[in-house]
Amino acid sequence: MKNLALHWKILIGMALGVVFGILATMVSWGPEFVKNWIKPFGTIFISLLKLIAIPLIIASLIKGISDLQDIAKFRKIGGRTIITYIITTLMAIAIGLLLVNMVNPGSNVSAETITKLTDGYSSNAADYIDKASKAKEAGPLQFIEDMVPQNIFEAMANNRNMLQVIFFVIFFGICLLLIKPEQSKPIRDFIGSLNEVIMKMVDLIMLYAPFAVFALIAALIAGTADPDIFVALAYYALTLVAGLIILILLYGIIVKFMTGIGPKTFYNGISPAQLVAFSTSSSAATLPVTMERVEEHLGVDSEVTSFVCPVGATVNMDGTSLYQAVAAVFICQALGHDLSIADQFTIVITATLASIGSAAVPSAGIVMLVMVLESVGLPADKLAVGIAMIFAVDRPLDMCRTVVNVTGDAMVALLVGKSVGAISPPKPKQWDDNYQT
């Protein structure tokens, strides 16, 4: 075990978690035991990652900006990041629409299944519809207004306010460039040391990852709902997973074509972050691991990773955008709501805007889906039924699309880094890829 790379250890923990979770469902007291005595160890891991997310953004982004010594270069990084994120989002939505129209998974859902799902998940659906209604009440520029914090300490107290923290840190970093070097040096030295400490914290937390993944997967399996639901929605789930796999493979091809880095190197470098993303279903919780892997194992300079990855974890959700397209068309197919070419174009526009404007909304994926469905005129009574259908299998599919979200962030970091000459051979680490001394 000591000689295994980290991603293999995590995979072993994941497999053992599946086995343990299945065994736990075979005894009456098993699920309760997993919930009370196993799941907390996974929850602690997620909390540790969230604990260092904000300090990591502050230290790495200020360090990255101050190391640039040129505001024009930072403007170039920011512009290319946003443009690339929009392009990859549109690509993901296009793949989703192409697949769901080819497979037509909604035609395989019976009226009996729809009734069963509606009865079981209607209350959950109502909650998400209510959240979406509140989000729609905001103005078109509300998400820009929300980026500017009124109190930075209050913003740092909530990981969902990550964009507000990024705004303040960018402002702080730019001002650091505008004062005399001898005045900024003490702060830059402190931030540099702080960044190294935070990265070492990531290393230590990742030692615990295989055990945490075991706990998270075991809890998921032990708490799984009626397996018949997954059979009933198999065509939908397989269509979505196929789209996500295609998207991940395209990332490898794009990285090879644009940067010269082989797909194997890319996937090996980012694989621990992918596995953490799969286990936690949270791009924000995975952020410290994503940044560490992209910078230390793929060779992207901190001046790029410190901006691209935090912004991506907040506003770039390629996997979620593909999910919007597949889920929206699937629901309309299952409920007999015909979509024209204009309606599908509306899905492209709405899903793209929703992926940016609704990023800070809790449970953003389903909230965004409600907005997309409303944009194509799905009646209110059918809307609740459709969301109930999707909610039934959302948890495992959310795990899959979070993997794509994180991989997309890593790919964009490589592309932007290459475009500004900020990719170098990975730095030698005190600990190797096994996180062993």
Reported as a single tens digit per residue, the pLDDT across 276-296 is 999 998 888 899 999 999 999
Contacts of 380 (CB under 8 A, 6+ apart): none
Whole-number pLDDT of residue 437: 35
What share of the chain in percent tops pLDDT 70? 86
Give the whole-angstrom CA distance, residue 277 versus residue 158: 20
Give the whole-angstrom CA distance, residue 344 versus residue 348: 7
Which pLDDT tens digit goes with each residue over 57-112?
Answer: 899 888 888 877 777 778 889 899 999 999 999 999 999 999 999 999 988 777 77
Give the whole-angstrom CA distance, residue 248 versus residue 396: 17
Query: Of 46-50, 257-261, 394-398, where does mean pLDDT reach its minimum?
Result: 394-398
Q: What type of residue is 274? A: Q
Whole-number pLDDT of residue 405: 93
Residue 259 backbone phi and psi in degrees, to 5: -120, -15
Which pLDDT tens digit goes with each residue over 3-38?
Answer: 788 889 999 999 999 999 999 999 989 999 999 999
Choose between 120 and 335: higher pLDDT: 335
* Position 427 pLDDT exceeds 60: no
Which pLDDT tens digit goes with each residue over 21-30?
Answer: 999 999 989 9
* Position 210 pLDDT exceeds 50: yes
Which pLDDT tens digit goes with each residue over 378-395?
Answer: 888 788 888 888 877 888
Q: Reply yes or no on domain 6-419 having CATH 1.20.200.10.
A: no
Whole-number pLDDT of residue 11: 93
Contacts of 266 (CB under 8 A, 6+ apart): 251, 252, 255, 256, 298, 410, 411, 414
Q: Among 302-306, 316-320, 352-356, 406-410, name the most confident range.
A: 406-410
* Position 124 pLDDT exceeds 70: no
* Position 436 pLDDT exceeds 80: no
Which pLDDT tens digit goes with each residue over 238-262?
Answer: 999 999 999 999 999 999 999 999 9
Whole-number pLDDT of residue 408: 96
The chain-wide mean pLDDT, for the chain, equals 86
Which string of b and e fits 161-200 if b means at least 16 CB within 10 Å? Answer: bbbbbbbbbbebbeebbeeeeeebeeebeebeebbeebbe
Give the whole-angstrom CA distance, residue 278 versus residue 289: 13
Whole-number pLDDT of residue 361: 46
> Rg for the chain (alpha carbons), in Å?
22
Whole-number pLDDT of residue 4: 83
In the chain, what is the straight-line distance between the N-terminal and C-terminal CA atoms, in Å? 14
Give the whole-angstrom CA distance, residue 363 versus residue 139: 20
Q: Which residue has the tokens 């198999």?
A: 234
